[in-house]
Structure 1
Amino acid sequence: MKVRLPFRLFLSHAGVAVVGAGIAFLTVRLLAPELFDHRVGMMNGMSGMGTSSQIRAGVHAAFLASLNSALLVGVLASVVAAAAVAAVVTRRMLRPLDAVRAATRQIAAGRYEVNVPPPAEPELSALAADVNTLARALADTEERRTRLLGDVAHEMRTPLTALDGYVEGLIDGVFTASPDTLAELSAELRRLHRLADDLSGLSRAQEQRLDLHPLDADLADLARRAATRLSPQFDDAHVTLVIAADTALPVHVDPDRITQVLTNLLGNALLATPAGGTVTITAHGSGSRAEVSVTDTGVGLDRADVERVFERFYRVPGRPRRSAGSGVGLTIARGIARAHDGDVTASSPGPGQGARFTVVLPLRSSDAPRG
């Protein structure tokens, strides 16, 4: 059974006090009689040199002198013993904190593989576990940052290489400035522009600097409009789109931003669902919250990936269909929803069993779902 730190501190202080008191008692108990006998013996040698009252006064003085000497030695001995015990106890209790301090210095220096062994005390063990969790989180962040730089470089390299080839071809006369060639150049430029917009949107979302223009709107209507606008893409991919958003959900939001969120979720669902599959968008109220869910019958998600899909530039291993785009759409979508005091959540029964993404937003004050 692990002893909690406050109790251990109490026991350590009590132990120091008991040791000090014990040393003082033993010292006085052993020294006082010897000192008293010695002084009385000296007085016996001088017994003929005074009256009985003088002898009693001398005995009293001898007793006090013996007691004072014994107490002085006892206090000094108890202080030395208590200091030694306190030093040992303090050293034992500070050792785990020293390990945590050393680990934090290594983490600050960029060595995230550090691991603090858990001490016996529950509180210090929890602190060590938090430091280890922090180290792993920073290591993961650093890994994603490195991967981000590689991904951005790769995303930029492809259109830049294409643009460079077209420009060199135009200079060398290999290509003519025909509408088709200029259209290819425009497509690569749009790709670069989209990447820059994604990175800018990601930065604003994570730094809570989104430019919002909230209006009274119907979330169900926004969902129907977004789905209707994308329905031709579902038809081309031979994926069935089911719209079940008839319940009015009055909200106070930026319609363009929320439409961006819904479009992202529908686009991801389309990419994740093979031909012959189904994507369903539903809208309903739950208490004081409005919810729009996009459910697909596509590739699904592992339990470990349900939250990680919202991390910037995270791509589900072995799921290239969900990895289309720059990999920041869901991060931006969640940032937009949270800027409206809402959220975007994900769930999935497992790989190959589809997934559900839900936008949750607060209903307008004093309003309730109708229909």
Structure 2
Amino acid sequence: MGLPLRLFLSAAAVAVTGAIVAYLTVWLVAPALFEHQVGMMAGGGRSPGAGPTGLRDAFRSALTTALAVGVAASVVAAVVLAWFVTRRLVRPLDAVRAATRQIAAGDYQVSVPVPVEPELAALAADVNTLGAALAATETRRTRLLGDVAHELRTPLTTLDGYVEGLIDGVFAPDPEVLGSLSDELHRLHRLADDLASLSRAEEQGPALQPVDADLAALARRAAARLAPQFDDAQVALVVHADRTVPVRVDPDRIVQVLTNLLGNALLATAAGGSVTITARPTGQGGQVDVVDTGVGLSGPDLDRVFERFYRVPGAPRRSAGSGIGLTIARGIARGHGGDLTASSAGPGHGARFTLTVPARAGHRAESARRPPG
């Protein structure tokens, strides 16, 4: 039963209860009062049958008194019933108010008891969900601060060591030492840039400028950008992107995602292995698969690889990256209305990363009208 109907029925119940109490009071009290009035007339020497005037006065007096008592009784009954109904409805709202004040004060573990009324139960459930979401956000924020501090500690420690060595004369300010200092500074700059990109991707959404593009061409562009690194690492790069895949995306952002996927696949694959990038159309858009023959992923790692600063245990460390590239890449994919997922047959069996993005509006409608098969 909905809350509006319950409120209506509650008000009607108060009114009906007052009317019933008034009726019963008058029905029970009026005859006794009338007999009392008639008895007083007889005791005063007046005959009850002396005339209609005396009986009318006695009846009017008895009825007036009975109505006064009935109205008073009905008011008391209505007030008691209204108080009970009000408390029943207000108690869950008071609990919600108290919970929201606790949440505002930073206590995200508060839980609101769920009442029986559907609307109030939904409100209580929403407040509980809000508290849980804020608690999770606070946990991620705390973990992020710890992760950032950890990521900053390594380059800062290295810089501190070099600077102290230069001051003490342990190191000479030659190009090799200065180059190492420059590498650590670049790492700090890269971390700052990645954190700024992550903030935009998770809080404001990535700044996108979608245009009509060919996803296959973007895949070939990303592959061409990293081809020299694959040659140096002696890892084969196979590209299957000959078929046009019309999509509406931000080309630079998609190339950024694909470059990150190819770079991670290269890091995970030993010399002599291979990485394959395949672009193809789907019913609702375009899809790019990046498949490697590298170290693979265990079940728990399939989702965690998209967490900030998460690194797969035992994975090679050939990169000075910040560890949030996949987090940013998934944010970009979802900002387009698509997604980025990972799959793997297990450690030692390689991994597959799949990027999906929406098609152009006209091509999506055409695909929907095309008969199956």
Q: Which residue of 2 aligns with 1:260?
A: 256
Q: Which residue of 2 aligns with 1:300?
A: 297
CA distance in 1, matches of 2:272, 2:62: 104
Q: Which residue of 2 aligns with 1:343?
A: 338
Name structure 2 gaps, 5 residues minimum: 368-373
CA distance in 2, matches of 1:65, 1:263: 98
Answer whether contact 1:268 1:322 (CA < 8 A) is retained.
Answer: no
CA distance in 2, matches of 1:214, 1:147: 33
Q: Which residue of 2 aligns with 1:84?
A: 80
TM-score by length of 1: 0.82
TM-score by length of 2: 0.81
Q: Which residue of 2 aligns with 1:30?
A: 28
Q: Tell me, what secondary structure is at the counterpart of 1:110?
A: coil
CA distance in 2, matches of 1:197, 1:320: 27
Select between 296-305 and 24-33 the one with higher mean Cα deviation: 296-305
Answer whether contact 1:334 1:344 (CA < 8 A) is retained.
Answer: yes
CA distance in 2, matches of 1:169, 1:154: 23
For 1:305-344, list aligned pairs within 5 A.
Answer: 306=303, 310=306, 313=308, 315=310, 319=313, 321=315, 325-339=321-335, 341-344=336-339
Deviations 1:25-58 (A, max 9, x none): 2211111111111223334456768996xx2133
Given candidates 222, 225, 235, the residue that maps to 2:221 is 225
Given candidates 51, 65, 69, the residue that maps to 1:69 is 65
CA distance in 2, matches of 1:75, 1:48: 31
Deviations 1:116-169 (A, max 9, x none): 232233333332222222222211211221222222222222112211221222
Deviations 1:205-226 (A, max 9, x none): 3454755555553211111221
Answer whether contact 1:301 1:355 (CA < 8 A) is retained.
Answer: no
Two-structure CA RMSD over aligned residues (Å) = 3.5
CA distance in 2, matches of 1:350, 1:126: 41
Q: Which residue of 1 aligns with 2:371?
A: none
Q: Tell me, what secondary structure is at the counterpart of 2:184?
A: helix
CA distance in 1, matches of 2:171, 2:263: 35
Assess, with a 3 A threshold, how the Cα gap between structure 1 residues 345 and 253 changes in structure 2: closer, same or farther. closer
Given candidates 17, 20, 26, the residue that maps to 2:18 is 20
Q: Tell me, what secondary structure is at the counterpart of 2:290?
A: strand
Answer whether contact 2:48 2:54 (CA < 8 A) is retained.
Answer: no
Assess, with a 3 A threshold, how the Cα gap between structure 1 residues 356 and 30 changes in structure 2: closer, same or farther. farther
CA distance in 1, matches of 2:292, 2:87: 59
Calculate percent identity across the aligned residue pairs: 62
CA drift of 1:201 comes to 1.6
Answer whether contact 1:103 1:116 (CA < 8 A) is retained.
Answer: yes
Q: Tell me, what secondary structure is at the counterpart of 1:177?
A: coil
Counterpart amino acid of 1:144?
Answer: R
Name structure 1 gaps, 5 residues minimum: none
Aligned positions, number:
362
Q: Tell me, what secondary structure is at the counterpart of 1:283?
A: strand
Answer whether contact 1:347 1:356 (CA < 8 A) is retained.
Answer: yes
Assess, with a 3 A threshold, how the Cα gap between structure 1 residues 141 and 274 changes in structure 2: closer, same or farther. farther
